[in-house]
Chains A and B, each alone.
Chain A
Amino acid sequence: MRYWNEHFECMSRDEMKVLQSRRLQKLVDRVYNRVPHYRAKMMEAGVEPGDIKSVEDIVKLPFTTKQDMRDTYPFGMFAVDMDEITRIHASSGTTGKQTVVGYTARDIDNWAECMARSLVGAGASRKSMVHVAYGYGLFTGGLGVHYGAEKMGCAVIPVSSGNTARQITILKDFKPDILCCTPSYALYLAEELYASGCSLDDINLKAGVFGAEPWSEEMRKEIEEKLGLKAIDIYGLSEIMGPAVSCECLEQKGMHIQEDHFLIEIIDPETGEHVPEGELGEVVFTTLTKEGFPLIRYRTRDISCIDTSQCACGRTTARMMKLCGRTDDMLIIRGVNVFPSQIESVLLELGETAPHYLIIVDRVGNHDTIEVQVEMTESFFSDSVKYIESLEHRIKSKLDSVLGLNVRVRLVEPKTLARSEGKAKRVIDKRKM
């Protein structure tokens, strides 16, 4: 099975635009009439449903942020009555009040549709056995994958998270071919698998669909090696729907966005303006078909870029690249937006050092300076000063051109910089504003 829904996944860009424009018009009309909060915001911005005729007009609409959800907690932004809602999910609320989302039966079905497309893209088929180790509950991961895999006709194993020993027994005894969980849990499973004396011969995984947290290409390689599978990146957030807003295919060259359901924009987080295709910016989503909890121009604070060229897999849907961090991590240096993960990408691409770095930003006089410290690795250490200086120079030229800044590069001894995914201290900003 190559595609789950060839019509929507492979339609021409022009057809997609027509479809999106029609759906956007209907959506704007619906929220204006049903959600007082949206109506108030649109009136304040001086825009009416009639002003929105195509996807290009979306820029006339105000953005929606997490704050809007807090202001209308818990159900103020639902666009249908509670008797039409069939499911409620909520985010953990670690960074404030929890956000609550509601789905109609049709929303749940559309979500399962998006998930089925994603799973097929990752190489699953009706014959697959899908091990779901995302948590089941208010978190969208478990149930999100579950409904999609069930819709496809897969044999779903709803293990949920936790109880690692049992997960390993299932991997060994049932031999599922598809594993769905967070990437860090996949690595943990691999370690525990080896610790229990098993090897790759004891399991039968073909692909893993991993998401719900940031992970690097380096981590991908490690998971693929240890579990003998293709590690596929899946993206989603509960506000928009849950996992399967976008997902990689086996080409692993960006996550195909289910554009008939979700309209993506990439903006400069400072100005709110669109950035040219291929440039990094904040991901903004509009849910084109959601009934229960539609969102208009929701600022995800995730950083990525898009590519609308046709993928080698045949799909025509736009692809968003692996997340490059959060807008909260963005640095502005001499007026240039810098995302720390851009530096990791450069280091991985050059492949001559460890992808571990520390950015030190300072202000000397009125001038911002940026220094990047990079860890030396054993395999690239040479006895020659000339070689090391030219390595520093190669890193510097690449960083200068990618960031558009004059970067100072310093090689440091191995294992002297903090590592770990996500929350490692990557930036020291000494500027006093």
Chain B
Amino acid sequence: MGVRQISVFLENKAGRLSDVTKVLGDNNVDISALSIADTAHFGILRLIVNNPDLAEKVLKENGYTVSISNVIAIAIDDNPGALAKALEVLTDEDITIEYIYAFTGKTENKALVVLKVEDIDKATALLRSRNIRVLDDSEVYSL
């Protein structure tokens, strides 16, 4: 389970990012979170959007290399120490995080954190058992 995240392969060339976002905008896809993993020649753009299926379809139609992966979205208080507390839960159980990105502002005084881990179900159950709010996918898409 988890939240469907769109990943797009991008060469490090001027204008690529604006092209992708234009395709999404033209098709009424709303981006709620975004991050880029970049290396010297290429980047992977990762997006949380309101309609992942539509985003995947229109990006593919426009010739982009797209893959969908599942991630976890958690909501934590926008206070010092809140993220550390949540991550500690995972560290305690030896769950490693492949990558993470976060943003604030959508939910009242909450920060939304997107996490990529190997075993989503295990991590989700663990976080919930420690009273950390893991968002359902429908909740995330409607942000």
Contact = CB atoms under 8 A, between A and B. Distances in A.
A, B from the same assembly: yes
Contacts, number: 48
Size bin of chain B's contact surface: 20 to 34
Nearest to A388: B42
A389 B39 contact: yes
A45 B24 CA distance: 71
Given A376-B9, A412-B11, A413-B10, A383 B65 contact: no
Contact of A410 (B10, B41, B69): B41
A376 B116 CA distance: 23
Interface in A288-316: none
A422 interface: no
Contact of A411 (B7, B42, B66): B42
A410 B64 CA distance: 17
A382 interface: yes
A1 to B, nearest CB: 49
Interface string B15-58: 01000000000000000000001010110101000000000000
Interface residues of A, number: 17
B97 to A, nearest CB: 13
B65 A388 contact: no
Contacts of B7: 381, 383
Contact of B63 (A381, A382, A389, A414): A414
A384 B98 contact: yes
A213 interface: no
A217 interface: no
Interface centre among A381, A410, A415 (most CB of B within 10 A): A381
B65 A377 contact: yes
Contacts of B65: 376-378, 381, 413-414
Contacts of A381: 7, 9, 65-67
Interface centre among B10, B11, B39 (most CB of A within 10 A): B11
A410 B42 CA distance: 8
A384 to B, nearest CB: 7
B16 to A, nearest CB: 8
B119 to A, nearest CB: 15
Contacts of A383: 5, 7, 44, 46, 67, 69, 116
Interface string A250-292: 0000000000000000000000000000000000000000000
B10 A378 contact: no
Interface string A366-404: 000000000011100111110011000000000000000
Contacts of A376: 9, 65
Nearest to B46: A383
Interface string B49-92: 00000000000100111110100000000000000000000000
Contacts of A415: 63
A377 B65 CA distance: 7
A383 B65 CA distance: 10
A389 B41 CA distance: 10
Contact of A413 (B5, B60, B64): B64
Contacts of A411: 9, 41-42
B115 to A, nearest CB: 13
A385 B9 CA distance: 10
A384 B63 CA distance: 20
A388 B44 contact: yes
A414 B3 CA distance: 27
Interface centre among A383, A384, A388, A389 (most CB of B within 10 A): A383
Given A378-B65, A381-B67, A385-B44, A413 B9 contact: yes
A416 B9 CA distance: 13
11 contacts: A378-B60, A378-B65, A378-B67, A381-B65, A381-B66, A383-B69, A385-B37, A388-B42, A410-B11, A413-B11, A416-B11
